[in-house]
Structure 1
């Protein structure tokens, strides 16, 4: 205990240096924590599951995917044609409708792209929304019922509501961009729960879009150019990886899906493919930014403790005269650096967790279709460990120098 108290006293000896070292550690740990949280989330999103996994069916040879909506009835059965074929446990369709709130001017602040889907699938197939609990689940269920009852309804994310300067109950018209000559009137029936993932999202009733395409065909006496290729994605849920492999084979070999041909991949694989365009950025974050921050942290720690040891050479010589062994002096210097690093690292990571998760509601950093990121709960131990590691690495040489102080040389210079 006395040894620990001595470490605390030495850390407090030069408060300005300790404060500056701590601030540098806090900022670098905060950066490392944010980078690791983003990478950890993306790694989890692209990690293959063995049970209860989702798969995405898309057009094989074209991006963006454009499939006939007539595929839906067969896809809901997973391409099953024979007795014993595997069928999905659940599924959902994704169509995309984009438009502008201003017919003449198309600007960022008046653009809105909505996913057209079957309302009830929001609660069973959408990530995170299918795991809501308690009052939050009850409230969102009411919103889904409103969307199902009102074809012109739309659900918006909180940030999207704010950027459009709209409130629940407001009505507006979207002038179609990807569906030219199809303009739709909407009523905002609700918003997505807090959490960040869907803050920029919008979901509409798929029947409204499909009815509009049918009305266009009746009025124009011809199908809309997008009428026979409005289905962008089809999601299925299966019990196991073996079931997925069976369904993938059924779908790709089915004669019902030849014009255009389709492919089936796990959701994790689909996300990984989508993130491929961010490969260089993510590699830079993983292999350049993070190591550079850790090295900088070690250098800061080494510089601070090195200056402290040089200032205390006479004191260290006196300690040797009083009976302190070299190992004890080494552990004292190492302990001071690691103690300061651990405390500053904990403040940096815990502060990042509270500031970003609780105060800011997520880190707004759009990567692919992820709009916000949150600091991982693992950061609560990442920070102290990073601080300890940097403190140890940074103080190895200064602590060796401290325990190697020669009493005769120090006192001969004083004399």
Structure 2
């Protein structure tokens, strides 16, 4: 099969559908999203059968535990996917919403309103839930979408996308607005990255290698959803029990996701008292600790951390630990090694909290809370398309508004310049 030709045909069909989708009434879009959710739940067995085959093959390849966790579906996760679609249906429609208006001295009335981006290409790896989340958000924001998932989840994604497309089209979504790429060859990705004029933007979701490849090779604009080297800094005034609770949650509640903590920084003034308590809690969760020289003096059971550890997104039950002399050193470490994702400070000092939030360069900066909250659902956006770590157009969890652009509407009475 000619991959380039087929990919272009899919993109052209999506482009045609995008024009009708852009002006589709909100009620039609919402009804389609609810129908898509119903279809997933009614045919969950079909999706689970496909996912079981993907998991069997992934285990045979020896893929690591964290990757298998991202790939695995169960009834609960399918219900979550369906609930995400229903929540997206319940959200306000951003299209045609105004966010600026003025009347100029010459009488011109100028309004700015939200419009769809057009056709969005989503390139992602092991998470089958992205298929439903991305399709739902793109459709609600009036965008056609071209979905290309990873080879390890091809059966799961094929099953999910077929159910979604059938339900969406039956409910009134224009034919062609949802396109799934069944090719697992890298050639399909390269074709998407050069579809200038057909795709309006590409959003990659996955590991650093995938994202770097897309950013470096795409002639289509890219919204970079970054990797997450996230930090927790335990300040000298921190409540120890709170700090341990936050750190354990940030590292162990779902270690394979991008908002999980990868490095713990501890103020030197409390390190000797705090680190043993932290180490015991992490040991109970089977977390491997890798510390700097001072951390290993206090907890000799830690492995030695290397320079590479400070910039590594483990996606696993591994945590690097560093003792820092003060708040300034913690901020400096974070700004040197982080990926602009999510950072948190545990402190009882309001001045330190404000300084941390002001000076740390990241999409989400917390005080006394786990980095695991950086998520579209938790922020009230419904399902998310990804978490942007860049600064142009969108930053942080990307909900419906991030999938729109703007248009100016100008009303006159014969004015000329």
The TM-score bracket by the shorter chain reads under 0.3
Where relative contact order (Cα < 8 A, 6+ residues apart) is larger, the structure is 1
Decide which structure has the larger Cα Rg and report it. 1
Q: Which is richer in helix?
A: 1
TM-score (norm 2): 0.23
